[in-house]
Each structure stands twice: as structure tokens, then as C-alpha cells.
Amino acid sequence: MIGAGGPAIEAAGLCKSYGDALVLDNVELAVAEGTIFGLLGPNGAGKTTIVRILSTLIPADCGRMRVAGRDVVADPDGVRGSIGVTGQFSAVDDLFTGEENLRLMADLNHLGRTEGRRRVGELLDAFDLADAARKPVSTYSGGMRRRLDLAMTLVGSPRVIFLDEPTTGLDPRGRRTMWEAIRDLVATERVTIFLTTQYLDEADQLADQIAVLDRGRIVAEGTPGQLKRRIPGGHLRLQFTAPDALEAAERALEGASRNEEHLTLQVPGDGSVAALRRVLEELDDAGVEIAQLSIHTPDLDDVFFALTERPAAQQAAVL
Amino acid sequence: MSALAYTITDSTTMLGRNLRRLRRYPSLTLMLVGMPIVFLLLFVYVFGGQLGAGLGRGLAGGHAGRAGYLNYLTPGILLMTVAAAVQGTAIVVAMDMTGGIIDRFRTMAIARACVLTGHVLASLIQTLVSIVVVLGVAIALGFRPTADPADWLAAIGVIALFAFALIWLATALGLAAKSVETASNTPMFLTLLPFLSSGFVVAASMPAGLRQFATYQPFTPVIETLRGLLTGTHIGGNAIGAIAWSVGIGVASYLWAIRLYNQRHAR
């Protein structure tokens, strides 16, 4: 998973505690250049702490970290020169207009007058903020604020971008827009993105690599596909119209479990065409008619709940 | 560009940001300038006749009664203006520190000091503008300074130096506050200190204990120096006292503020 240029972010033996509470426990990470890395975990898992350490905001208690080829501890200014951070809490100036916020970033990035103006105009257009450019940010919607926040992060053309829960609190349309913006960034500018999220579908949609963080430990790592294959739960669901058909089907298929009430049968399987054909042939041979069929592959929800060692019911109760 | 050039550029950018913020939030400045003006009007027109009668002409710039009291009072009101203005410093610093934008600044490759320098310089400009406004009101009411140009320059220097010290103190208080509400309360004691000084009445007229406090607290030498420069009363050792207090408060507050700033998000 390490690209030609070496990893854009690497951390080894990262730990951090607040008093007696161990927040991060020996975290290892490597993110290849030009990819999106998703750090997935429930609230309080330590996601934000990792972002704050890697973006030089707080020191770690131990561990070695390099971001964009610079050592986070020895050369924090070098790191700051290559990164952009959009945190969980809106980092925009409410008393300013969108354009003024971006101009402030251009000035602090020492872009110069002409280049600053050009970059600000470009970002206002790219993030669909040109119409609202001269309105105070206090009048912006949640989605507009997030887009401005991300646009401000991009003014200095960072190579590595940290996005801490970038869509928390956004409506579905706002989330889609944000996802597109993030995908565009990687596609057009080949930046590396370190994303934290508590939304499984978000990690699934965006990330090339995912690490699942639970109580300060990385409990699993891989591509979304690899993670899904790591846990059982794939099955076919067959629906019948009459109890005798259900019974006949159960006799014909080994390992199936039935639900009398719903007249359904659950057949374990990996969802491949071969497995599907085998089931259909066996039912054909037994002369059983199927009313409906659906294929269920494990989604990241299953992975998440299996890995964070808390049953789904308990998770739901917490939410 | 060199590191120093970057520091200056970034501080100028932050100064511009803070001045613009102050213009966008005019109610804060109006409230802070309004307070000393209300006290000026109250003390001159309600208490001034009687208080002026108790002052010797030597302390009142050669005038008697209400007009004399206005001359006596104005330096203290100017210092109260400084104390009120720095309350705004604590508020805007706390607004910045409790908002998300400070984390953005801290993850950017900008001169570390520029966030605080920007606040302090903007507050200094705001305070001096407030002083001009309050002084204008006092002159409109009949305050007649006898200062020559050199005295005026010295007076501006004394006010600016003391304001600079209190602004650093308020910056530290703003950094120490956990919320904007706290930050708007903690510097309030500064606006009370002019009452317990020689700003409104002669310290010698106060009872023992309070008299010693009023004589030796920082506002008194600054007010006495300012009064001497503007209306020609005797300054004596107060000039040294004023400078010593200003430098002392300024240096201690600066060190405290820097320490708080570097600690604040390192938790």
C-alpha cells in the first residue's frame, strides 16, 4: 500500500493519555500519497486526538510520526507548511464574508495580491460560493459553512489534508456535495486525505483504506472490501408463499435457517453467482417455487459492530 | 522573506483582521466608550458642583466649582476609558480562543506570535480612538487643558504605555477565561480601580487604609502624571511611579499571556 513516494502520513507507537485515561494505545498508521484514508470509530474512540497530534496541535506522549516527509515533533513548522486541517468545529470568522475569510487565508499563506485574488476567486467558484461571497458567514447554511471551511483549508494548496468528521451535522444533500468535493480533490490535485468519520457509509464511499479505531486501538485495517470479507454474515434470503414450500426448501438446502413468521429462509453464502446457481438448481430439483430472492453481503455496519465488540442492540441503545 | 519579515507581515494581516472585526461589531466599542462618558456626565453635572467646591483652585486648573471639578476629573475619566476599553480586549481574545479559528491558525505555517500581536495592536488603536472621543466630550463640556505640544506628546506617551500594559493584562485574562462570559467579567475590577484612586477625589480626603491603597495603587501615579501634564498640577515622583507600574504590569502580563497561549491547546 506504500506508493512510490513513500507514505504521506506514518505513525508508529503513537500513544497519549489524559491523567489515568489512556486515549491512544500504540497506534500504527501508514497512508499512501494521493489516497483517501478513513479513520472510522465511535465517539470517544480517539479519532480527533490522532488528528490533533498529527496536525501539530497537541504533543503525543510517545511514538514517531512523519507527515509529508517531515517529522511532526522535530519540524512542526515544516509539517504546518504542507498540511491543511478542517476540524470538527467550524473554523471560519463569522463577522467576515466568505470572500474575506478566504482573503485572510491568502494573506496568511503569503500568496501576494494578484495570486491571492486569483486563488480566492477560483475556490469561490469551485465550492459554489461565488453568489454568497460578499455575504457575512453568519448568514450561511451549515453546508455552506463546511464548504467555506474546506475552501479556506485549500487556499495554501496543502499536500496533506486532515478532515475531522467533515459531514457531521449536514443534511443528505450537503453530505453528497462534500463527498464530491473530496473526491475531486484527490482526482485533480493528487492530495492525500486523512478523514475521520463515525459514518460507515462515508468511509465506504470515500476511503481507499480504512482503519477502525476503538477505545484508542486500531482494531482492523484494510480496504472496505477486505474488511467486509473479514466477517461472516453474507447470505441469501428466500421468500416463499406457503409454509410447505418453506419446509421443502429447508429440507433441500443444507445449513439454512427458517423464519416461520415471515416465510423466509436464510442460506449462508458469499453471494457469488456459482453459489446462487447451486441454490436455485437444488430448489428446482426439489420442485419448490420461490416468491422472492435477495442477496445480503455484510456492510460496514456489520464489520463495525463485530470489531468494536459491542452488540448492535447495545450500539443502538447508545445512539 | 526572513523570519522577522514574516512576523511583521503576519502581524499586520492579523491587525487588519482584528480592526475589521471591531468595525463589524460596533456595539462592543460603543458600550465600552459609553461607560466613561456616562460617568463623566454624572460626576460633572450631578456631583460636580459640590465636589468642585471642596477642591482647592490649585488642583482644579485655576477654576472653581463645577468647571474646576471637570478639570480635576478628566484625567481619571481618561484612565477609566482605558480600563473599559481593555474589557473589550479580553472579550475578543476569548471569542477567538473559544472558537474554532484559533486551531486553524495554529496548524498554519505563520509566525506564532502574530495572533496575540494582532489583538494587542488592534486594541491599542481602539483604546486611543476611545480616548480621543472621550477627551472630545470633555473639551465640549468645558475641559480646558493648559498643556503645550511637548506636554501633549508626553501625555499621549503615558496613556499609550499604560494602555499597552493593561491590554496585555486583559489579553492574559481573556486567554485564562474558559468562556467569553468569564472574559467579560474578570477585567471589570480595572474599571473600579479609578474610583479608589485620586481620580475622583483627593486621596488625602479618604479614611486610613483606603487612603494608603488609593495613594499606592497603579492608577494614582498615572492619573497624577496625566493631570500634571494636561492641567499643570505638581507631578513630582508620580512620573517615575507611572512608568514603573506600566512597565511592571506590561512585562508580567506579557509573560503570563505568552505562557497561557502556548499552554492553552497543548492539553
What burial class does residue B74 get, using C-beta atoms within 10 Å of its C-beta: 0-12 exposed, 13-18 middle, 19+ buried?
buried
ipTM: 0.86
Q: Give per-residue pLDDT as tens, A156-175.
A: 999 999 999 988 888 888 88
DSSP characters over chain A: ---TT-EEEEEEEEEEEETTEEEEEEEEEEEETT-EEEEE--TTSSHHHHHHHHTTSS--SEEEEEETTEETTT-HHHHHHHEEEE-SS--S-TTSBHHHHHHHHHHHTT--HHHHHHHHHHHHHHTT-GGGTTSBGGG--HHHHHHHHHHHHHTT--SEEEEESTTTT--HHHHHHHHHHHHHHHHHH--EEEEEES-HHHHHHH-SEEEEEETTEEEEEE-HHHHHHTS---EEEEE-SSHHHHHHHHHHSTT-EEETTTTEEEEE----HHHHHHHHHHHHHHTPPPSEEEEE---HHHHHHHHTT--HHHHHHH-
- B→A contacts (Cβ < 8 Å), by residue, are 1, 6, 9-10, 13, 16-17, 20-21, 24-25, 99-101, 103-110, 265-267
**Of B120, B99, B93, B102, residue with least CA distance to B177:** B93
Residue A177 has pLDDT above 90, yes or no: no
- Higher-pLDDT residue of A254 and A7 is A7
- Taking contacts as CB-CB distances below 8 angstroms, the residues of chain A near B107 are 55-57, 80, 83-85
- Taking contacts as CB-CB distances below 8 angstroms, the residues of chain B near A60 are none
A148 touches chain B (CB under 8 A): no
The most confident of the ranges A19-23, A186-190, B97-101, B215-219 is: B215-219
Indicate left, alpha or beta for A27 from its phi (over 0: left) and psi (-120 to 50: alpha).
beta
- Taking contacts as CB-CB distances below 8 angstroms, the residues of chain B near A58 are 265-267
> Across residues A19-39, what is the average pLDDT?
92
B38 to chain A, closest Cα gap in Å: 28
Q: Are residues A56 and B13, on separate chains, in Cβ contact within 8 Å? A: no
Query: Would the CA dihedral through B232, B236, B241, B246 be positive or negative?
Result: positive
- Taking contacts as CB-CB distances below 8 angstroms, the residues of chain A near B100 are 87, 89-92
Return the pLDDT at A73.
Answer: 93
A236 to chain B, closest Cα gap in Å: 48
Q: Are residues A108 and B108, on separate chains, in Cβ contact within 8 Å? A: yes
- Taking contacts as CB-CB distances below 8 angstroms, the residues of chain B near A68 are none
- Higher-pLDDT residue of A280 and B257 is B257
Q: What distance lies between CA A23 and its chain's CA centroid?
A: 20
A54 touches chain B (CB under 8 A): no
> Across residues A219-235, what is the average pLDDT?
79
> Across residues B7-21, what is the average pLDDT?
94
A21 touches chain B (CB under 8 A): no
- Taking contacts as CB-CB distances below 8 angstroms, the residues of chain B near A80 are 107-109
A168 touches chain B (CB under 8 A): no
A55 touches chain B (CB under 8 A): yes
CB A84, CB A156: distance < 8 Å: yes
Return the pLDDT at B139.
Answer: 96
> Across residues A116-138, what is the average pLDDT?
94
Q: What is the pTM of this model?
A: 0.83
What burial class does residue A139 get, using C-beta atoms within 10 Å of its C-beta: 0-12 exposed, 13-18 middle, 19+ buried?
exposed
Residue A57 has pLDDT above 70, yes or no: yes
Residue A2 has pLDDT above 60, yes or no: no
- A88-97, A203-212, B59-68, B229-238: lowest mean pLDDT where? B59-68
Nearest CB to B101: which of A59, A84, A91?
A: A91
Nearest CB to B100: which of A56, A80, A89?
A: A89
Residue A18 has pLDDT above 60, yes or no: yes
Return the pLDDT at A1.
Answer: 38
Nearest CB to A108: which of B21, B103, B110?
A: B110
A196 to chain B, closest Cα gap in Å: 17
A144 to chain B, closest Cα gap in Å: 16
- A9-13, A185-189, B73-77: lowest mean pLDDT where? A185-189
Mutation to test the B interface, candidates A108, A161, A194, most B Cβ within 10 Å: A108
- Taking contacts as CB-CB distances below 8 angstroms, the residues of chain B near A61 are none
> Across residues B102-122, what is the average pLDDT?
91
Kindly state the helix (H) or strand (E) to which residue B93 belongs, with its residue range: helix B65-98
What is the C-alpha separation between A102 and A123, in angstroms, rounded?
A: 8
Indicate left, alpha or beta for B70 from its phi (over 0: left) and psi (-120 to 50: alpha).
alpha
Count how many pairs of residues, chain A against chain B, have C-beta atoms within 8 Å: 64
Q: Give per-residue pLDDT as tens, B130-178.
A: 999 999 999 999 999 999 999 999 999 999 999 999 999 999 999 999 9
- A133-137, A230-234, A293-297, B48-52: lowest mean pLDDT where? A230-234
Nearest CB to A95: which of B9, B21, B105?
A: B21
A176 to chain B, closest Cα gap in Å: 24
Residue B25, helix vs strand vs coil: coil
- Higher-pLDDT residue of A235 and B67 is B67
A68 to chain B, closest Cα gap in Å: 14
Q: Are residues B9 and A87, on separate chains, in Cβ contact within 8 Å? A: no
What is the C-alpha separation between B104 and A101, in angstroms, rounded?
A: 12
